[in-house]
Structure 1
Amino acid sequence: MSAGYVSQLINMITGDNFANYINNYRVEAVKEMILDSDYENYSLLAIGLESGFTSKTTFHNAFKKSTGMTPNSFRNTNK
């Protein structure tokens, strides 16, 4: 399958574009890492980068769009 076809399928099935679809999976990975005590000494940026985000801005914006809160607020809420 071509990348374009896969992207089109994701758009049709989820109603979202490919980038948002992937970022939602990354945000879920970030949330799991924040809740995992093995990562308590990691900075939020390090966790975001470890989850596949390529910049602080993209990470922050995607996290807030998906959860309605900043990564820091999520961490503080779930301590």
Structure 2
Amino acid sequence: MAVSQFNRFLTEATSPAADGHSSLRKDQLYGLYTSWCLLNQSSPEPGSIFWTAMRNLRIRPSTNGLRMTGPAAADYILASYPDLV
């Protein structure tokens, strides 16, 4: 069975929050996904498709218990806070 783009994104760019309570906000999770797509040279799906896929993977927009990790996290942070560069 092929691994979906969304499963691969979750595996490569997120990990469980250490405290179990911290969560990426909805806009942060989608922004991380778009950064991950950019780094992987793929076009991001529209938000509606992304959130449907997340629901199917039992990831809620809020209280998802995920934190960002890896190269996509660095890209997202630098894109979100350009004064850091």
User: Is the TM-score greater than 0.5?
Assistant: no
Give the alignment's TM-score, normalised by structure 1.
0.44
Larger Rg: 1
Which gives a bigger RCO, structure 1 or 2 (Cα 8 Å, sep 6+)? 2
More helix by share: 1
Give the alignment's TM-score, normalised by structure 2.
0.42
More strand by share: 2
